[in-house]
Amino acid sequence: KQEVTQIPAALSVPEGENLVLNCSFTDSAIYNLQWFRQDPGKGLTSLLLIQSSQREQTSGRLNASLDKSSGRSTLYIAASQPGDSATYLCAVRRSSGSARQLTFGSGTQLTVLP
């Protein structure tokens, strides 16, 4: 059974810092990995999706990497802003079988202090 772990559970940084969020998964047979952002009381917003054949994806100040063999992904946020404050979730999708669902980590709650 796939298990996804996110460390740290919470992180507080001053504005302007670069930061890294970590995600690890136990089964490397994945189809893709997706990073989401969730604001309090809201749904999930897709940030980046990395296919299993890819090593990284970039969007603006965000960069996500994937090392499938070691079961790890990182989300790098450059020049953090107070508006980046949210919970960040990573999720992996199985590569085979009938199941198509994502397995989520518990998230990292990020606070960027002005």
CB 13, CB 113: distance < 8 Å:
yes
- Binding to other proteins by residue 44, rule CB under 8 A? yes
73 closest CA partner among 7, 15, 10, 16: 7
Q: Which amino acid, residue 52?
A: S
Number of shown-chain residues binding other proteins (CB under 8 A): 26
Task: Give me the least distance between CB of 16 and other proteins, in Å please.
Answer: 28
Q: How far is the CB of 24 from other proteins (least distance, A)?
A: 14
Q: Does 46 sit near other proteins (CB under 8 A)?
A: yes
Compare residues 54 and 74 and give the one whose CB is closer to other proteins: 54
CA distances (Å), origin 38, targets 47, 55, 67, 99, 107: 10, 24, 24, 24, 9
Residues 51-110 touching other proteins, rule: CB under 8 A, are 51, 89, 91, 93, 98-107
State CA 114 to chain mean position distance: 23
31 binds other proteins (CB under 8 A): yes
Whose Cβ is closer to other proteins: residue 17's or residue 87's? 87
Q: What count of other Cβ atoms lies within 10 Å of the Cβ of residue 57?
A: 18
The site for other proteins (CB under 8 A) is made up of 4, 31-32, 34, 36, 41-46, 49, 51, 89, 91, 93, 98-107
